[in-house]
């Protein structure tokens, strides 16, 4: 697939107004995307678990304008007008205009809400951009009803990527690969694809409990963070390592080897943070409580034989990943020993999910 294949032929239908609503989940990367080239092309492939309950619901209403002048839209979060969201959406519209030539023909009302609290430190860009991309693709499908489901989902992921890279992994479940990888046929830098190989029962219904260590705004925006990988002294080795970790995960998933999974996932999380600590300018995004939690998890694992592990995004919050059968013991551990390190004692229980849904 090349970018040009997503430029549509003239539409067969015309449509004056309507609305579409999609619910789209967040995702948590196991092999991390960190570093990009122009046009949101990742420097290395990544793979993520799609989540289930952390999601964005977006309703996109549209009505034809008299004349196609500039982009025209308003945006609401939980029914409250959010003009500060507009610049990000204008950037998104500019990037995808070529692929959705109807964008200037309509006035849009974007009404969005997140299932997780706005100020939880959980990034809503993946679920938000994928929900919006899916709504826009529903309009395109109304203009071109002959579109196949495969094209619909691929192009929606392609568009979501142009909104926020990791958003292209938030459309389908339960494991999604983004970025060309030699061992994964069909993998692409342009969009996410469902992980195509066998996944052992051990990883079915895997749980993700998110410990909210810091609910504040991100200290470093993703854009700034990805740019730190340009001229980074360890960049090339890091990109190679991501390819290798993804290769290794293929047999780990097939064989159900959770110990090897834990090692790859924790190493990826720490490498992501190591990249930020060794770039110029440098950042430490973990908080003292992040480290307290990591140490407690290691001790718990040693003492109990549990397979729980942690991963991190570009922030201080900790995702605890563990097999479904450990749910009770891990939640007891969280309540007894870890809530003290969470801001206001808050954490969110989620698990692997099956992707976006049209409502």
Which stretches of the chain bind ligand PMV, using CB under 6 A? 29, 32-34, 46, 123, 125, 164-166, 222, 272, 313-314
**Tokens (6 digits) for 15:** 């449509």
CB of 16 to ligand PMV, least distance (A): 34
> By C-beta, is 61 or 165 nearer to ligand PMV?
165
Residue 132 vs 143, nearer CB to ligand PMV = 132
CA dist 280 and 283 (Å) reads 8
Which tokens sit at 253? Answer: 């998933």
Closer to ligand PMV by CB, 131 or 139: give it.
Answer: 131
Helices (H), ranges, 86-175:
86-96, 125-143, 149-163
User: Residue 60's beta-bridge partner residues?
Assistant: 20, 110
Going by C-alpha positions, the residue among 94, 63, 307 that lies closest to residue 207 is 307
Helices H / strands E in the chain, number of each: 8, 14
The least distance separating ligand PMV from the CB of residue 220, rounded to whole angstroms, comes to 10
- Contacts (Cβ under 8 Å, ≥6 apart) of 89: 73, 75, 110, 132
Which residue, 237 or 255, has its beta carbon nearer to ligand PMV?
Answer: 237
Min dist. Cβ of residue 53 to ligand PMV (A): 18
CA distance 65 to 94: 18
Which of 164, 317 has the CB closer to ligand PMV?
A: 164
- Smallest separation (angstroms) from ligand PMV to the CB of 308: 20
Cα 266 versus chain centre, distance: 18
Query: Min. distance of Cβ 31 from ligand PMV in angstroms?
Result: 8
- Tokens standing for residue 162: 């142009």
Residue 46 or 289 having the CB closest to ligand PMV: 46
Burial 77-111, CB ≥16 within 10 A → b, else e: beeeeeeebeeebeebbeebeebbebbebbebebb
Nearer to ligand PMV, 19 or 247 (CB): 247
Provide, for the chain, the percentages of residues in helix, strand and coil under a 3-state DSSP scheme, each rounded to the nearest 5.
40, 25, 35
We find the least distance from the C-beta atom of residue 36 to ligand PMV, in angstroms, to be 7
- Alpha carbon distance 172, 176 (integer Å): 7
Looking at the Cβ atoms of 222 and 271, the one nearer to ligand PMV is 222
Q: How far is the CB of 180 from ligand PMV (least distance, A)?
A: 15
CB of 165 to ligand PMV, least distance (A): 4
Count CB-CB contacts under 10 A for residue 119.
11
């Amino acid at each position: 697939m090349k970018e040009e294949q997503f430029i549509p032929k003239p539409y067969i239908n015309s449509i004056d107004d309507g609305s579409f609503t999609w619910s789209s989940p967040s995702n948590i990367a196991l092999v991390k995307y960190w570093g990009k080239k122009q046009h949101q092309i990742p420097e290395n492939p990544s793979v993520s678990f799609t989540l289930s309950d952390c999601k964005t619901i977006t309703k996109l209403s549209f009505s034809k304008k008299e004349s196609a002048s500039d982009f025209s839209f308003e945006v609401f979060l939980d029914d409250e007008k959010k003009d500060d969201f507009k610049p990000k959406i204008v950037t998104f519209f500019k990037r995808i205009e070529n692929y959705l030539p109807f964008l200037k023909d309509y006035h849009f009302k974007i009404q969005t809400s997140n299932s997780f609290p706005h100020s939880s430190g959980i990034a809503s860009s993946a679920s938000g951009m994928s929900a919006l991309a899916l709504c826009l693709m529903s309009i395109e499908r109304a203009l071109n009803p002959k579109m196949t489901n495969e094209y619909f989902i691929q192009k929606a992921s392609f568009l979501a990527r142009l909104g926020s890279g990791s958003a292209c992994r938030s459309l389908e479940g339960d494991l999604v690969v983004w970025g060309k990888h030699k061992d994964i046929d069909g993998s692409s830098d342009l969009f996410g694809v469902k992980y195509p190989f066998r996944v052992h029962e051990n990883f079915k219904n895997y749980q993700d409990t998110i410990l909210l260590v810091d609910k504040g705004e991100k200290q470093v925006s993703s854009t700034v963070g990805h740019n730190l990988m340009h001229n980074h002294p360890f960049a090339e080795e890091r990109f190679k390592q991501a390819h290798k970790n993804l290769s290794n995960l293929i047999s780990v998933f097939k064989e159900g080897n959770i110990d090897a999974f834990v090692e790859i996932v924790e190493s990826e999380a720490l490498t992501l943070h190591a990249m930020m600590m060794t770039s110029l300018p440098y950042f430490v995004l973990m908080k003292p409580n992040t480290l307290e939690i990591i140490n407690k998890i290691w001790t718990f694992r040693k003492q109990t034989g549990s397979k729980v592990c942690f991963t991190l995004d570009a922030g201080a919050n900790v995702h605890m990943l563990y097999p479904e059968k450990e749910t009770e013991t891990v939640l007891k551990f969280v309540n007894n020993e870890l809530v003290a390190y969470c801001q206001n004692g808050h954490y969110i229980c989620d698990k692997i999910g099956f992707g976006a849904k049209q409502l």
